[in-house]
């Protein structure tokens, strides 16, 4: 197997995991996952900067929503909307 093919394989693997994790982040932050899935998400958020940032955005949105006096932070909301669009079209990891 050529290094290029290997890289391509890793990229695809990571991308599929990111999509799967992306769908679970919100449930994870709401403590809605079973312990095994929660552990999987937690370790991925630790290893993957992109998903880690997504989780951070969710946290910020959640705390903003909890305090009704705080305006919705626009930037993370836009990133989440972009991510949702990515997930809908079949995202390719960068």
- The piece of 10-18, 58-66, 72-80, 82-90 that touches Zn ion (CB under 5 A) is 10-18
State how far the Cα of 93 lies from the Cα of 35, in Å rounded to an integer: 27
Instruction: Work out whether the CA dihedral 28, 56, 48, 9 comes out positive or negative.
Output: positive
User: Rounded to the nearest 5 degrees, what angle is found at the Cα of 25, between the Cα atoms of 21 and 28?
Assistant: 115
CB 30 to Zn ion: min, Å: 19
Could you tell me the smallest distance in angstroms from the CB atom of residue 69 to Zn ion?
33
Contact between 25 and Zn ion (CB under 5 A)? no
Q: Which stretch binds Zn ion (CB under 5 A): 5-13, 26-34, 50-58, 73-81?
A: 50-58
Question: Residues 19, 48, 61, 80: which binds Zn ion (CB under 5 A)?
Answer: 48
Handedness of CA 41, 51, 45, 28 (dihedral sign): negative
Quick one: which of 25, 51, 55, 83 contacts Zn ion (CB under 5 A)? Answer: 51
Which residue from 87, 67, 65, 68 is spatially nearest to 76, judged by alpha carbons? 65
Q: What are the residues binding Zn ion (CB under 5 A)?
A: 18, 48, 51
């Amino acid at each position: 197997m050529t290094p290029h093919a290997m890289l391509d394989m890793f990229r695809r693997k990571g991308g599929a995991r990111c999509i799967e994790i992306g769908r679970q982040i919100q449930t994870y932050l709401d403590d809605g996952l079973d312990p095994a899935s929660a552990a999987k998400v937690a370790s991925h958020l630790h290893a993957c900067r992109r998903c880690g940032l997504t989780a951070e955005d969710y946290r910020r949105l959640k705390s903003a929503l909890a305090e009704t006096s705080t305006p919705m932070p626009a930037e993370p909301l836009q990133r989440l909307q972009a991510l949702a669009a990515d997930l809908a079209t079949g995202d390719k990891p960068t």
